[in-house]
Structure 1
């Protein structure tokens, strides 16, 4: 005669008691991980499993890795038939090579686009610098405020007065009022 009830069918409904629910989660999770490991070993497949406990903690199983599984979900490989160059390689390795190749192509395209944008910026900067050479001259009043224009005008007036004063001094030194070579007098 048996002293235990043996293996009984359990009704599928949420376990009411929190501690019993956590225990059931832990046991069932372990069972699923074991079955997935057997599936991978027996069938040579890729597998991934993610479960989040009530506390929000994630529990994962993945073969060969979770990164590979997520990568496959993001960009599934349509053509998994072996190619000429990898007929002796397992399909997983061939798929990995194709995926890496696609990633490198995208990276190259991104860098080429970035380089083109930078070259365009450089051309615009050079053109802008050459266009602004004339604008940067001290006599250009474009873009100045009224106050800055008044100051610029005053500077021109002062320059004019100063130059006129120097010319008249030079004429007085020469004495006769004839035009003299201003540059030749030690200045």
Structure 2
């Protein structure tokens, strides 16, 4: 059985990019990938990361977690590393606190959604009614745009129906009076 043959990795020659525009573009792309990798290190490993870069235009960019001062102090040995056990306890406490806050926000949003659904049912009953009785009496300022368009359509239907009834009755009265005149002669 023949083994799988792979290409040997080629060594890429590192040299400065001569085209200034290409250099700026490459810097921007590489900077964002370094930000992403630094963020991943912090998230996945809990590492303290500090990163400072100066663009070809002379503009500084930095990323640090938890702060640039903390990372610089650790790097320069100004502060000894904290006790990992106490740090882990503090971090877990902060995670529990943020989880509790998120749960509270979730509960509030869930209750708001339930209230909105209940109000929607009431509005739907007011606008449609079980037998379409007095749908025109719905509080218009509480309706959304779609419900207002539905209300408009219903009003137009009602107007057409009224005009049809009026026309039928006036035609009926006119023909009755016409028949009455013909019978008198």
Same fold at TM > 0.5: no
Structure ranking higher in helix proportion: 2
TM-score (norm 1): 0.37
Structure with the bigger RCO (C-alpha within 8 Å, sep 6+) is 2
